[in-house]
């Protein structure tokens, strides 16, 4: 990712906020962010209420520390897509972080849907699993600890929707690995978050638009909990 993007005029405030919060975390020896979110959820949310858990995580992101969740700004875009899926849909998520999107996806789909989420960070796995369990959705969500490059080849079956929300420079190669493993079927939807100008996901966008296997739509939005321009790329697999 090109660092200069974070110093564009429309992103300066966002960038300085992140830098300041990161420095404070390091100077104070703060616990890993996913574990702080876990504790905040346990202290303030209603157990077994997914929507209240999400609202509590939104509150943490606004009042305590920025969180790279899909958030309430872009969440409705994904919910629109879920309405088109069967009730027993399977969803593959790359990047669990604190469990926000896993909870949103599982709650929207209903009891028959299943989410498989891949996460490389041990602290994120611990925090996300705790938050999913607190929301009462652990029976619908499986969070696998491991990097996407190593984990994708071990997956079986196919997925109705793939949600990319991890390291942006892995979007293209991981999608190619998903294709090679046969995890997509005709009509599967691939949603890539954070493909706006701040994140430099041009290789991924070029790939899904020009490889000849996807019908893609670019939806403009803002970075979660901010006014910084962002976007979501929605691609339907047409092999």
pLDDT at position 12 is 56
Neighbour-count burial of 46, counting CB atoms closer than 10 A to its CB (0-12 exposed, 13-18 middle, 19+ buried): middle
Question: In DSSP terms, which residues pair with 164 in a beta bridge?
Answer: 94, 192
Rounded to whole angstroms, how far apart are CA atoms 98 and 107?
A: 16
Task: Return the residue matching tokens 């974070």.
Answer: 6
pLDDT at position 200 is 74
Q: Note down the domain range covering 119.
A: 3-237
Rounded to whole angstroms, how far apart are CA atoms 158 and 175?
A: 13
Rounded to whole angstroms, how far apart are CA atoms 162 and 115?
A: 10
pLDDT at position 86 is 94
Return the closest-CA partner of residue 128 out of 44, 60, 34, 55: 34
Rounded to whole angstroms, how far apart are CA atoms 198 and 10?
A: 9
Counts for the chain of helices (H) and strands (E), in that order: 9, 7
pLDDT at position 176 is 98
pLDDT at position 22 is 72
pLDDT at position 18 is 65
Q: Would you give the end-to-end CA distance of the chain in angstroms?
A: 30
Q: How far is CA 6 from the centre of its chain?
A: 20
Below-50 pLDDT ranges, the chain: 1-9
HSE on the CB side for 189, CA within 13 Å? 21
Total domain count, the chain: 1
- Taking the model in full, what pTM does it have? 0.90
The DSSP result for 134-182, as a single string, is HTT-TTTEEEEES-HHHHGGG--S-EEEEEE-S-GGGHHHHHHHHHHHT
pLDDT at position 16 is 62
Residue 202: CATH number of its domain: 3.40.50.150
């Amino acid at each position: 990712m090109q660092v200069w993007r974070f110093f564009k005029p429309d992103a300066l405030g966002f960038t300085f906020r992140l830098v300041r919060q990161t420095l404070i975390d390091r100077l104070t020896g703060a616990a890993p962010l996913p574990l702080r979110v876990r504790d905040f959820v346990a202290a303030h949310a209603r157990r077994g209420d997914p929507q209240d858990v999400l609202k509590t995580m939104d509150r943490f992101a606004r009042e305590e520390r920025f969180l790279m969740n899909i958030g309430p700004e872009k969440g409705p875009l994904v919910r629109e897509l879920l309405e088109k899926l069967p009730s027993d849909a399977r969803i593959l998520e790359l990047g669990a972080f604190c469990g926000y999107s896993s909870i949103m996806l599982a709650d929207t789909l209903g009891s028959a849907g299943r989410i498989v989420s891949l996460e490389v960070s041990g602290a994120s796995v611990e925090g996300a699993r705790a938050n999913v369990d607190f929301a009462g959705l652990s029976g619908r969500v499986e969070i696998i600890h491991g990097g996407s490059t190593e984990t994708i080849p071990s997956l079986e079956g196919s997925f109705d929707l793939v949600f990319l929300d991890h390291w942006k420079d892995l979007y293209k190669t991981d999608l190619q690995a998903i294709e090679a493993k046969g995890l997509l079927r005709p009509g599967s939807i691939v949603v890539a978050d954070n493909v706006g100008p701040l994140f430099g996901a041009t290789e991924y966008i070029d790939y899904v638009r020009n490889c000849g296997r996807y019908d893609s739509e670019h939806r403009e939005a803002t970075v979660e909990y901010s006014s910084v321009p962002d976007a979501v790329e929605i691609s339907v697999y047409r092999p």
